[in-house]
Structure 1
Amino acid sequence: MTATLGGWLLILLLLAYLLHILWRQIAARSPVAIASFIAAYFVLAAFFRLSEPYTPLRPVWLPFVYSYSWLAIAAALWLPASACPTRRGLLLPAESPRIAALLVSQLCFTLGSLLTAPALEWRPMAAYVMLPPLMAVLSYLLYRVFLFSLQRSKDGILSWRLLLIGTIAAPIASMWLGGWIAPILLGWT
């Protein structure tokens, strides 16, 4: 089996996304975010190990492919220690806007995919699992929207409305784009 140029480009896209995540973690210098990120790797690796116990190396490398899931688990571990819910939204006082936007966006993206999947015939979850390059692009776009909102906010608050819109719009976009772009990606690889 040989990889095509399109396949290599998709792999490079996933690698660039992972390097961006690592750079955000290092640049933030947040001990809670880094500890959550490391712990999330082991949680995701254990999940992959339990789901397929007969493939010994798959749990080691598969979290790198699904780095958006890895980051969502890290965000779930990080959120209780770093965020405060208020009436206006989610207050993130202790963290830099970049790491806060990255973690919250990935948590919203993953929760939205999980929660809307039954109502949308599991198509958002199918795209979430089967199209990691597309999910990396959509995750990055959602991160940029959340970062823009956090940088405009004087208080460091992400509004509930933006969080709800991001949680619902991301899986719908992944479902729609997944159905449209999957045949194109299959032709590339």
Structure 2
Amino acid sequence: MNCNVAVMLMHDYLDDELPHDDLAELKLHIDSCESCCTRLEQLERTEALTHSMMDTRVTISPQQSAQLTNRIMSSLPVKRRRIGFASWIRNHPAVSVAAVFALVMFSSFLAMWQQDNDLTVRGGDLAQVIIEGDTVTVPEGAHLKGDLTVENGKANVLGDVEGDVTVISGSLYQASTAHISGEVKQIDQALDWFWYKVTHSISSLAY
């Protein structure tokens, strides 16, 4: 097993979707490859951080909420035309706390987006997929069943994909003879990436 295939299987392992035979092969590879062992530890820490952030609940007393609002408002420059907005903030402290929490989450995901440069391939039917360097190819004549996601790489779709094709921080080439039955999505901006990660994490928790 090469390292690219091992990294691809790690994501299925973290989602509890890896067949028993593949799990045994992955463990053998990780035991003999220090690089992949380190990569799996990093993915597990990232998964744990994501889940803990999704499970976090902010609970503060009315007095603490008022103190937080006052500190925020006192740090803002005094301008007469903003009095109405400041009053609204004071009357809606829960919204202010939620906005601060969302900003913290977005900042954390943005840091992850800037650091994550490794090729990642996910899908329900990858036996026919060819991975060469940072290029993932669905060869002509192949028929993939299910979605295909390529992160930090190039996707060349020459065959058929019965599902969605998502390319994150990469490029997509679709031949004229290829057919994709689902949506084709390319995610390059941090905000799009953030939203994709949030929805993907929620979907993983749901299953």
- Choose 1 or 2 for highest CA Rg: 2
TM-score normalised over the length of structure 1? 0.30
Which one has the bigger helix percentage?
A: 1
